Structure 1
Amino acid sequence: MEILERTEKKVLKDIRNPIYVLRDLIKKLRPVTIKNLSPFQGGFVRYFNYDLIRKWEYLPGISPQDARIPESVFMFYRRLIIFDHLTHQIKVVAFAHLQKNDDLKKLYDQTCQEVDETIKILKHPLSSVSERDPLSFTDLDTNLNQKDFEKSVRKAKDHIVA
C-alpha cells in the first residue's frame, strides 16, 4: 500500500486490510465546523477493484495479481467544489491540514489563495471541444476468451434466476 501525503511517499507492506489504515488516517482529520456549511464537507474519494472482496470472501478463478490494477485507490482532496442543490449555491472549500510546527497565518493565507484560485478557474470559460486534440483509443485487452466469457454470463444468469 502506498500513501502519498503532500510530497512524501510511504510504502506499507503486507497490509491485510486497507480499511484499517484508512480508519487511522481519518482519525487524524478534524475539520472545523463552519456555520452555513454542511457538516459533511468531503472525505475520501474512493475506487474499489472488484477483487478487493477477496480480503473477506473466497472467490475462485483468476488471481487478482494477474489483473495488474490496484485493489483500491483512496484520494483526499484539499479543494472541494460543493454544489448545494437545496440553496442553488456553489461553495468552494479548501482544507488546511495543520501540522505540529506550521505557521498558522501563512497556512491560512495559502488556503485562502487556493480558494481564490479555484474561483478564478471556475469563472474562466471552458475551451471549445473543437480546440482539443482528437481522442485516441488503445486496443482492449482481455484475460478471458469468448467461450469462457459466455459460460460466465450463463452462470451469472442462473444465479440471478435462482
Structure 2
Amino acid sequence: MVAAIVQGALAVGVSAYLLYDATYDSPGAARIVASGGPGTWLTAGYLGFIMLGPLAAAVTSMFYQHLEAHLRAPYSGLSNIFAWLHILLMNVGVVGATFIMMNGGWRGGALALTLSPSNPSAAYGQVHEQVLGALPPYIAAFSAIAIIGAIAGGLGYIIAWRRSPKQSMT
C-alpha cells in the first residue's frame, strides 16, 4: 500500500506540474501534446505511468491482502522474496521508463515547436536526432526491470497460493 501512496504522490506532482506549465509557461503541455510527433511520447509516458504506477500498485496490494487475509496464505520464505522483488523492481521499472518517455516527449515537443516556424519538414527529424533517438535503450532497460518484477510477483503469488489451506467442496 505504501508503494501506491508513493506512486500516487508522484502522479499528483507530475499532474500539478503539467497543469501549472499549461497555464503559466510556454509552450505548455497542451501545445506539446497537440503537436503530435514527440509530444506523443509525453502522452504515452503520462498515461502509462498513471495506469502502471499508482493504479497497479494499489491493485497489487489488494492481491497481497487477498492472499494473506482471505486465503490465509502468508508470504514467507521464497514467496516473500519474490513479493519484495515484485514491489521494488516493478515500481522502479515503471517510474524509470515512463518518466524518461515523459521527459523525452516534453523536451522533444518543445524543441519541435521552436524549430517548426523555421523549417516545418525538418523539425521532427532534428528532434528525433537531438532528443528522442538515444532514449529507447533506457526505456527498454527500465521496462525489462518492470517485467522481471512482474514475473517475480507472479511466481511469489503462485507459491503462496499453492501453500494456502484448500477448502473441501462438500
If the length of structure 1 is used for normalisation, what is the TM-score?
A: 0.34
The structure having more radius of gyration, on CA atoms, is: 1
Name the structure where helix makes up a greater proportion of residues.
Answer: 2
Higher relative contact order (CA 8 A, sep 6+): 2
